[in-house]
A and B are shown apart, each in its own frame.
Chain A
Amino acid sequence: MKKIFREIVFIVLVSSVLGAAVNFSLIRRFVRGEFKQGFLAPEEFPGIRFIALQETEDLFGRGQAVFVDSRSRDEFSAGHIPGALNIPLEENKSGLNGGLLPYPQDRTFVVYCQGGGCQTSIALAKLIHDLGFRDIRIFSGGSAEWSVSGLPLELSR
């Protein structure tokens, strides 16, 4: 059993060295603070970035961005950022119909989901990016942080 343990440690160590060597540039970017909120590669999705509550609130106040809620219809109905569109990721996984977002390509979008590590906003942001839009911001705090901060929520029937 000792031999097996030594061999397992050897395989894991060699894998770690190979993984670190091959992904050296990714590790440097990770150390610099990238990928803390998700694994979007900026070179692959240059038009997507993560934003915090303050910037989200600012964009909301100026009315310059289209807010998109990626949660299910039920979750959206129970309370969403006022004026947000609901594009449930679960209904659009295979791709978005361009007609859902009849906006010029330079329009700013803020995509959000529940917050607390939810991932549907990231997946939806990628789909919006695929339509050619290049200013997409993911509010990672989501509706949870928005409502906890005392900001208004809109209910829909």
Chain B
Amino acid sequence: MIGNKWVLLGSKLVVGGLFIWAGVLKIIDPLGFGQSIENYRFFPPGLAFIIAIILPWVEVLSGVFLIIGLFRRSSALIISILLLGFIGLVVIAMLRGIDTTCGCFGSLSRKADLSLILMDTGMLFLALNIFFAKRRPV
């Protein structure tokens, strides 16, 4: 883990900022996000609807709390759990041969593929680094 305060500051700005951006794009278009969730063919429609309503707000709040430093470790843990879930979903979709966009950034979403897994893994590393950090970022 990297404990340098500037690295931690950069990490929380990048991860928090990306989660706020991703959440806002989904809040704007909940039905589009619901459809993206359904495209993975993993959740029943009712659950996909509930996720589409709640998850974007979890992303935005976690991102905001991470950046302002309130509930820092809890927000980093939520983001880490979400990223693990996203990585798992994309892996399952790829194994099942499902060709879909990730749904991660609303209408700006990219294809759910290996490069997305690598990007999410990088973010997961940054989020876990914040969670396990002993010192607070500046």
A28 to B122 Cα, complex, angstroms:
39
Binds A, one of B2-10, B48-56, B84-92: B48-56
Q: Assess the A22–B27 pair: CB atoms within 8 A.
A: yes
Q: Assess the A119–B74 pair: CB atoms within 8 A.
A: no
Is B57 located at the chain interface by the 8 A CB criterion? yes
Knowing A27-B53, A39-B38, the reply to whether A7 touches B74 (Cβ < 8 A) is yes
Name A15's contact: one of B30, B46, B58, B71 (CB within 8 Å). Answer: B58
Q: Assess the A11–B61 pair: CB atoms within 8 A.
A: yes
A110 to B48 Cα, complex, angstroms:
25
Is A148 located at the chain interface by the 8 A CB criterion? no
* Number of residues from A at the complex interface, CB < 8 A: 31
Q: Assess the A20–B77 pair: CB atoms within 8 A.
A: no
Q: In angstroms, how far is the closest chain B Cβ from the Cβ of A130?
A: 14
Q: Assess the A38–B61 pair: CB atoms within 8 A.
A: no
Chain A at the B interface: SS class: helix
A118 to B38 Cα, complex, angstroms:
9
Between A and B, 11 residue pairs with Cβ closer than 8 Å are: A10-B71, A11-B65, A15-B58, A22-B27, A23-B30, A26-B31, A38-B35, A39-B52, A117-B38, A118-B41, A119-B35
Is A37 located at the chain interface by the 8 A CB criterion? yes
Q: In angstroms, how far is the closest chain A Cβ from the Cβ of B60?
A: 8
Q: In angstroms, how far is the closest chain A Cβ from the Cβ of B56?
A: 7
Is B62 located at the chain interface by the 8 A CB criterion? yes
Interface residues in chain A, defined as those with a beta carbon under 8 Å from any beta carbon in chain B = 3-4, 7-8, 10-12, 14-16, 18-20, 22-23, 26-27, 30, 35-41, 44, 90, 117-119, 122
Instruction: Report chain A residues within 8 Å CB of B27.
Output: 22
A26 to B45 Cα, complex, angstroms:
14
Q: In angstroms, how far is the closest chain B Cβ from the Cβ of A45?
A: 10
B26-50: CB near A (< 8 Å → 1, else 0) gives 0100111011001101000110110
Q: Assess the B41–A117 pair: CB atoms within 8 A.
A: yes
